[in-house]
């Protein structure tokens, strides 16, 4: 019997070249490129290319890739009809999960069984392009608004902000979201990536894998954490109330959202980038309240518990400052992570093996007699 590891903690289940998460060092890289350098020198589109193609593009390759990605900005009429009919108060993650699943019904390239890597790569690109459209369309429709004209002259970050707001975003807003998308693109064998790889390892299809990943990301212990951060800040109310609120949380041994990380034992390498953006954005908007509250919470938790703020802690303030509704925080996480999920699925298919871990049985060891029903 192999050693039991609850939650598979510490168990190596596969090989991957896509992202390297070094928890003890507080380091993250994609295919050997450190996240700091990618944020400094690359766009989100370049990172999608890197994850899908295994290398950074040159100018000509990026232009061709951008054109192909933007050409996929359309939704089948059946999906649009569903987004119109979905409950206006529905959870956007539920709508996204269902919308992505529906996409598979309208894609005649989809097949189960032995993979066709060329077709799967094309489907992966299509999914990356369509997920933001589903999120934006539902957000507009639930307000009784039409979706603005889909454009092919805007980058991914700019286009999404255009779609949800119906007006052109500022350069700072575009840059801020672009960096957030880069930082969330991939992150090792996290729970949703594991779901995607387990699903496609059965030789199911890309849409099934991404649907499974979205369902996994929805949970508050994974992607839903950033929504919890802004709810916490709203509950606190103001900077003067932070200390008492956090002391109360600590006294009751309750979790403080956005603090600590399952993998990183030091500072989450993504957090400083989003903190910097949050500071700049709130200064530009003249509304520093949320970032000041966040900074005080982070300070207390570092002093009292030795824990650092993670990426969710500052992404919440960034998205809120961009005017994005709280219930779209996790869908934006999904938009970014779709580039990583699809890349992970393609990698899984290139050297596939079905995931089939064991379980530690804790039931009766001796067979029990089955009494007649009238004696039970």
Q: 77-100, pLDDT tens digit by residue?
A: 999 999 999 999 999 999 999 999
Partners of 309 in the β-ladder: 259
Q: Please count the other Cβ atoms lying within 10 Å of the Cβ belonging to residue 125.
A: 20
Residue 204 tokens read as: 């199911």
For the chain, give the longest Cα–Cα distance: 77
Is 139 annotated as catalytic? no
Spatial distance between the Cα atoms of 362 and 199, rounded to a whole number of angstroms = 26
Q: What is the pLDDT of residue 311?
A: 81
The confidence score (pLDDT) of residue 3 equals 80
Burial of 103 (0-12, 13-18, 19+ CB in 10 A): buried
pLDDT at 371 (0 to 100): 95
Q: Which residue has the higher pLDDT, 134 or 283?
A: 134
For the range 176-180, what are the long-range contacts, defined as Cβ-Cβ under 8 Å and sequence gap of 24 or more? 176/277, 176/280, 176/281, 176/318, 176/322, 177/322, 177/332, 178/43, 178/44, 179/39, 179/273, 179/274, 179/277, 180/274, 180/277, 180/315, 180/318, 180/319, 180/332, 180/336
Confidence (pLDDT) at 111? 87
DSSP state of 166: S
- Rounded Cα gap, residues 75 and 68, in angstroms: 15
The answer on pLDDT for 259 being more than 70 is: yes
Q: How confident is the model at residue 286 (pLDDT cuts 50, 70, 90)?
A: confident
58 band by pLDDT with thresholds 50, 70 and 90: very high
Q: How far apart, in Å, are the Cα atoms of 283 and each of 13, 94, 156, 167, 290? A: 45, 34, 25, 22, 11
**Residues near 195 by Cβ (< 8 Å), separated by ≥ 6?**
209, 212, 213, 215, 216
CB 127 within 8 A of CB 100: yes
CB atoms under 10 Å from CB of 4, counted, come to 9
Report CA dihedral (166, 171, 176, 179) to the nearest 10 degrees.
110
Return the residue matching tokens 């779209």. 328
Q: What is the pLDDT of residue 280?
A: 86
pLDDT band at residue 200 under the 50/70/90 scheme: very high
Rounded to the nearest 5 percent, the helix, strand and coil shares of the chain are 60, 5, 35
Higher pLDDT, 343 or 358: 343
Reading the block at residue 174, the tokens are 């575009």
DSSP type of residue 186:
-
Q: What confidence score (pLDDT) does residue 334 get?
A: 97
- Annotated catalytic residue, options 184, 261, 268, 273: 261
pLDDT band of 25, cuts 50, 70, 90? confident
- C-beta separation of 195 from 102 below 8 A: no
| SS3 label, residue 20 | strand
pLDDT at 132 over 90: yes
Are 111 and 330 in contact, with CB atoms under 8 Å apart? Answer: no
Average pLDDT over residues 350-357: 94
Q: Provide the 8-state DSSP code for 262.
A: S
- pLDDT for 106: 97
Residue 261 a catalytic site member: yes
Residue 8 in 3-state DSSP?
helix
């Amino acid at each position: 019997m192999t050693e039991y590891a609850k939650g598979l903690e510490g168990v190596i289940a596969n090989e991957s070249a896509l992202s390297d998460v070094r928890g003890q060092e507080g380091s993250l890289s994609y295919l050997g490129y450190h996240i700091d350098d990618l944020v400094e020198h690359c766009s989100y589109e370049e990172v999608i290319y890197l994850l899908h193609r295994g290398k950074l593009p040159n100018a000509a390759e990026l232009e061709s890739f951008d054109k192909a990605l933007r050409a996929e900005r359309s939704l089948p009429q059946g999906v649009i009809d569903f987004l119109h009919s979905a409950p206006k108060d529905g959870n956007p993650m539920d709508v996204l999960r269902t919308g992505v699943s529906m996409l598979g019904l309208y894609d005649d390239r989809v097949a189960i069984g032995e993979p066709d890597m060329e077709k799967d790569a094309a489907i992966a690109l299509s999914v990356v392009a369509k997920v933001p459209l589903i999120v934006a369309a539902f957000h507009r429709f639930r307000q009784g608004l039409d979706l603005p004209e889909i454009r092919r002259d805007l980058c991914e970050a700019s286009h999404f902000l255009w779609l949800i707001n119906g007006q052109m975003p500022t350069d700072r807003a575009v840059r801020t979201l672009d960096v957030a998308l880069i930082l969330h693109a991939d992150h090792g064998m996290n729970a949703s990536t594991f779901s995607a790889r387990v699903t496609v390892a059965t030789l199911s299809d890309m849409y099934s894998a991404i649907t499974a990943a979205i369902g996994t990301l929805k949970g508050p212990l994974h992607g839903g954490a950033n929504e919890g951060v802004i709810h916490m800040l709203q509950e606190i109310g103001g900077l003067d109330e932070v200390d008492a609120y956090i002391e109360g949380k600590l006294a009751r041994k309750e979790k403080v959202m956005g603090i600590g990380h399952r993998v990183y034992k030091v500072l989450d390498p993504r957090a400083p980038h989003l903190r910097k953006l949050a500071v700049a954005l709130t200064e530009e908007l003249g509304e520093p309240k949320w970032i000041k509250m966040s900074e005080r919470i982070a300070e207390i938790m570092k002093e009292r518990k030795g824990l650092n703020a993670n990426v969710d802690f500052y992404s919440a303030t960034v998205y809120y400052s961009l005017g994005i509704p709280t219930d779209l925080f996790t869908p934006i996480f999904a938009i970014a992570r779709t580039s990583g999920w699809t890349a992970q699925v393609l990698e899984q298919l290139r050297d596939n093996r079905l995931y089939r871990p064991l379980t530690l049985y804790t039931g009766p060891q001796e067979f029990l007699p089955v009494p007649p029903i009238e004696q039970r």
